[in-house]
Amino acid sequence: MKYFYFLNLHRHIRFFSIAIIILLLSSCAGNKSTGKKNDTVDTIIKTARSYIGTPYKWGGTTRAGMDCSGLLYNSFLVAGITIPRTSRDQGKYGKKVSFYQLQPGDLVFFSAKKGSPKVTHVGMVTAVKDKHNVQFIHASSSLGVVENNIYSKYYRSIFVKARRPF
């Protein structure tokens, strides 16, 4: 009688062990898509950062000179993603995201002057350090390709919108 009890117990343990393993493996498989997205975002950010110091050139797409939308166009292209070439068209790409929910890889759009809704400049979030320190990379007409904090008084005042391309 004890033999059958242990045999049944062994079957139950084996069943529950297999069920737990299947659950663990399926949860790991679910993370692969997030990992791929993170790898893509990391590639895009790394590529954009490789242009830091490149001078600004309107319409430029090379290390000799780069404009803001060209920087993002080239950086996404290296990751195998083709986005629109102009900041105005990039402003329609992806889905809307709140200023307070920015993540690395999000596109951020600015106007030429405070209060204007017209998009004239684009950058990409590279790091969220804390709730008042969100770094973004862009090609500044005066400084070339640089990273700045979007919470700075200047950039906060001309911010128009953000889009999540993924």
Name the residues annotated as catalytic.
Answer: 68, 121, 138
Q: 124-143: b or e for each residue (b if 16 or more CB lie within 10 Å)?
A: bbbeeeeeeebbbbbbeeee
Q: Dihedral sign for Cα 63, 50, 69, 156, please.
A: negative
| DSSP-assigned beta bridge partners for residue 163 | 96, 107
The span from the CA of 28 to the CA of 63, in Å, is 40
How far is the C-alpha of 84 from the C-alpha of 109, rounded, in Å?
A: 14
CA distance 151 to 134: 7
What number of other Cβ atoms are within 10 A of residue 90's Cβ?
Answer: 23
